[in-house]
Structure 1
Amino acid sequence: MAVPATYTTLDLSGKCTMNKTLTDQSALDAVLKLQGVGMLKRKAVGLAAPTMRIRHFTNAAGVEQLEIEQVGVLRLGESAAVDVDREDQRVAAPWYRRGAHERGELGDAFLESGWTAETLEHGLIEAEMRGGDAKWTFVQTWAVEEVNNGERRHVRHARCTGPKGKVIEMKFVYDYAGSL
């Protein structure tokens, strides 16, 4: 299901479920393998349709924050949050908004292209995660993209780099499942 017109990088609040048809499952398996996830866990992830509960807000100090809880799948590090209060539910990931004036600073056409006009205006969200042993990095850009004949969807462009320099690129496409 497409996201509503009000769903932009200025407010990503809501529930989104991974669309297993529009997300390349073989690439997802390859990314998890590169991150050292065992075959049984990868198969379990492949059977699941993870849902994210995203809370996007500005705190009392005026700092923009994202809290993302992933539900319905093993906790494998794909979740991210700025404020972490329960490590079993959330994994910290540094993120920031990359504004239109910074476009091109990633130096990466895959991570920076394909977004809607309002994303380019308001900026996209960039997050980076590293394996605990620093053997892999996982860089994502999050925003709204038109897919499947113009449907506005929550999409994440991701690049995973493994311990031997192997790189896998993929897009995670999500169905909007409603507000929180």
Structure 2
Amino acid sequence: MALPSSITTKNLSGRFTLNKTLSDTNAFDAILIHESIGWIKRKAFAIGTVTLTFKHYTDKDGVEHFDIDNHLTGGIPGTQERRPVDSVERERSDMHFGPQLFYTKRRAPNDVEGLSEFLKGNWTEDTLENGLLETDVKSDTAKSRTSWLERHVWGIEEVQGERRFTRHIEFEGPKGQRLDTIMYFDYLGA
């Protein structure tokens, strides 16, 4: 389902599922290989459905947050992401990707300075006016003994005549492998 106009980068609360028809699942699988995700889990991701439940809010100190619950079909346990939007690098670990370091920040309205052409995307006007969301996730090399980096830019794009939540991802693997992919999501409602 297309996003209603009320869903913007200033209000992403709701449920979303990965659209495998629009998304390049082969590129996503290649990224998982370079992140040392095993064959069985990769096949389960490929067959199953990934659903994200976003809770988007501002805390009493004025810090914006994304609490994201990832649900997977097929009996694979999901993960929880707690993302303060404050540019501070934090540690996290989960059963799929191991120890990681990440930060999330909001880019100022219309600020695409320093982004590659791929990450600049074809964002909707309201996305550019409200600001893009940028998050870097990388392996915690000291703990994981591997090295990879994902740079995400999140926003809303019009795809085939419908507004969609998208994530543009630039990936660099442990041996310098470079992959770009876009994840397109269907909106499931509040």
Normalising by the smaller structure, the TM-score range is 0.7 to 0.9
1:126 aligns with 2:127: no
Q: Residues 146-180 of structure 1, C-alpha deviation per residue, up to 9 Å, x if partnerless?
A: 112x200010000110011111100000000010x
Which one-letter code corresponds to 1:105 in the other structure?
A: G
2:70 aligned partner: 70
1:97 aligned partner: 106
SS in 2 for 1:126: strand
Superposed counterparts of 1:30-41, under 5 Å: 30-41=30-41
Distance 1:165 1:35, change over 3 A: same
Give 5+ residue unaligned stretches, structure 1. Answer: none
Return the alpha-carbon distance in structure 1 between the equivalents of residues 78 and 58 of structure 2.
27
| 2:176 equivalent among 157, 165, 169 | 165
Which one-letter code corresponds to 2:10 in the other structure?
A: L
Contact 1:125 / 1:143 at 8 angstroms: preserved in 2?
Answer: yes
Contact 1:81 / 1:92 at 8 angstroms: preserved in 2?
Answer: no
Which one-letter code corresponds to 1:120 in the other structure?
A: L
How far residue 105 of structure 1 moved from its aligned partner, in angstroms, is 2.6
Q: Residues 30-50 of structure 1, C-alpha deviation per residue, up to 9 Å, x if partnerless?
A: 110111111111111101110
Identity %: 36
Q: How many residues align?
A: 174
How far residue 76 of structure 1 moved from its aligned partner, in angstroms, is 8.1
2:29 aligned partner: 29
How far residue 113 of structure 1 moved from its aligned partner, in angstroms, is 2.0
Q: Residues 55-108 of structure 1, C-alpha deviation per residue, up to 9 Å, x if partnerless?
A: 11000111111111101164687x632269x9669x8731011123532233x1
1:80 aligns with 2:81: yes
Which one-letter code corresponds to 2:83 in the other structure?
A: V
Give 5+ residue unaligned stretches, structure 2. Answer: 85-89
Structure with the bigger percentage of strand? 2
Q: Residues 121-147 of structure 1, C-alpha deviation per residue, up to 9 Å, x if partnerless?
A: 111100111113251001101110011
Return the alpha-carbon distance in structure 2 between the equivalents of residues 143 and 135 of structure 1.
27
Return the alpha-carbon distance in structure 2 between the equivalents of residues 110 and 158 of structure 1.
9
TM-score (norm 1): 0.88
After TM superposition, the runs of 4+ consecutive aligned structure 1 residues lying more than 3 A away are: 73-77, 86-89
Contact 1:14 / 1:177 at 8 angstroms: preserved in 2?
Answer: yes
Contact 1:75 / 1:88 at 8 angstroms: preserved in 2?
Answer: no
Return the alpha-carbon distance in structure 2 between the equivalents of residues 22 and 165 of structure 1.
27
Which one-letter code corresponds to 1:136 in the other structure?
A: W
Which one-letter code corresponds to 1:161 in the other structure?
A: E
